Structure 1
Amino acid sequence: MDAVAGTEPVAAGLPVRRVLLTGATGRVGARFLPRLKQLGAETRLMVWSPGPGVRRSATMIVGDLADAGACRAAVEGADAVVHIAAAFQGLRPDQSEDVNFQATRQLATAARDAGVRRFVQLSSSLVYADGAGAAAEDTPVRESAAASFPAAKLGAERALSAVRGLESSVLRLAFTYGEGDPHLAEAIGWARRGGTGRMHLVHHADVRQAILCVLSAPELPRRVYNVADDRPVGPAELLAAAPGFAVRGQVEEGAVTETEPGAQPFGRVLTAEAIRQELGFAPGFPSIAAAAEKGAL
């Protein structure tokens, strides 16, 4: 799945061998799953319904995260959980926050009770309030969100923080792109229609690297890490980096679309030094221009 060989460290001796992954049919999860398998991890999937790219198997649990029994079955024997799934399509923001709070609380509680060693929750920079400037991990998040996707991530984060006794970490991702992800086409659409400010990006290869950094860390010195590349870009820079990337206009599971007020990524910049200094994260694609030069869009 890697677009360019050598952009991700080989995590030899990954200390967790049995990993439960939620959200394997979404944009981030579908690109992370092959990396787990490449590293030899015994991977179990929990999905609401198998997507076209995911085949049923003995290691797949089809069930609702709000179902405590399904969560207990999913985490049984797992060393780690990577929780990417979020429910937001067709939900109001208040419904989305509540649904994801309940689902994540069930999963995290089941993981703690089963003795899971590490729980990684993928979140989004969209949880930070508009106009927050360069948001660090201790920048206040929104009280509520105007769009269902950031509301879903807020709900999941709040649920995880309420579950004590579980070694866990939250990765707040900048705008993800690369390896054909239609997110980039959506961002270019915003840029062409007059997006203002800068946006921070992170390539899927570096999202995978960040997850592996957390899974491999001997200890987690903090619960929240921002994950972003080295160079936020404005609309003109974004268009220059990917001039031929057509706006597809398609919506996939896991998409943050321009039809969601408050979900647009322009004007959001992250301070992402903590994960570099504490866990050794170093973007293989420090900018979208670097990714374009390597043919990794």
Structure 2
Amino acid sequence: MRGTIRTRAVERFVQVSTGNVYGVGRGRPLTEEDESRPGGEMWGAYPESKAEAERELLALKSLDVRIGRLPFVYGEGDPHLANSLQWAAHWAPHQRLQMAHHADVAQGLMRLLYAPGIAGRIYNIADDAPVTTVELHQLNGVEVPAGLHALTDPDPWFGIMSNQRIRRELGFRPIYPSVWTARDAGAL
């Protein structure tokens, strides 16, 4: 017996992107209005492909596209915090990393999916408090390498994303406004 196959048209599409599409910094927190400026230490095939996907999807007039740009994501059982020391070993002590707990990423993406009237909008999904290199070492229970203090940060705003649009327009409030809050709640 043959059944009837029913298909439904896709009405909304949420593209999960990365804050690395911004490229080089602007001397302030990055906002969704900032265009992509290829370059910088994190530029490569991944952010380049994400930036291209964003452009192509936003050009589609037949689809309600929403884009969520993510920073460094961490959470329960996730090795990202420990892995961050691979890069942080070469960063200035005060260099900062924008983060978001995976529970907040899920919350943000759900808000993007279900919010009416936001077709073609881009939202940064990030916590409220980027952490420094020194804090990354502390979070991992590792001593700060002695030579770190001689390093300088060429761009103190590199990768720092504003979350004001998603807060204002979609009511986003991080469950874990900082990695310290997540640590204190046992959510690492």
Alignment of 1:124-273 (within 5 A): 124-133=18-27, 134-143=29-38, 146-191=43-88, 193-196=89-92, 197-220=95-118, 223-243=121-141, 267-273=158-164
TM-score, length of structure 2 as denominator length? 0.79
Task: Identify which of structures 1 and 2 has the higher relative contact order when contacts are C-alpha pairs closer than 8 Å and 6+ apart.
Answer: 2
Gaps of 5+ in 1: 1-72, 78-113, 245-265
Task: Give the distance between the partners of 1:173 and 1:151, measured in 2 at CA.
Answer: 15
User: 1:171 is matched by which residue type in structure 2?
Assistant: G
Among 11, 18, 29, the residue aligned to 1:117: 11
Q: Label 1:190 to 1:159 Cα distance change in 2 as closer, same or farther (>3 A).
A: same
Task: Give the distance between the partners of 1:240 and 1:131, measured in 2 at CA.
Answer: 26
User: 2:174 is matched by which residue type in structure 1?
Assistant: P
Judge conservation of contact 2:98–2:159 (CA < 8 Å) in 1: yes
- Residue in 2 aligned with 1:53? none
Percent identity reads 41
Judge conservation of contact 1:200–1:269 (CA < 8 Å) in 2: yes
Q: Label 1:215 to 1:229 Cα distance change in 2 as closer, same or farther (>3 A).
A: same
Task: Give the distance between the partners of 1:270 and 1:182, measured in 2 at CA.
Answer: 22
Measure how far apart 1:168 and its partner are: 1.3
Alignment of 1:77-92 (within 5 A): 77=8
- Residue in 2 aligned with 1:288? 179
Gaps of 5+ in 2: 143-156
Task: Give the distance between the partners of 2:38 and 2:159, measured in 1 at CA.
Answer: 17
RMSD: 2.1
Task: Give the distance between the partners of 2:120 and 2:164, measured in 1 at CA.
Answer: 13
Measure how far apart 1:281 and its partner are: 0.7
TM-score, length of structure 1 as denominator length? 0.51
Task: Give the distance between the partners of 2:112 and 2:168, measured in 1 at CA.
Answer: 13
Judge conservation of contact 1:231–1:287 (CA < 8 Å) in 2: yes
Q: Label 1:182 to 1:149 Cα distance change in 2 as closer, same or farther (>3 A).
A: farther
Measure how far apart 1:186 and its partner are: 2.0
Measure how far apart 1:166 and its partner are: 1.4
Measure how far apart 1:234 and its partner are: 1.0
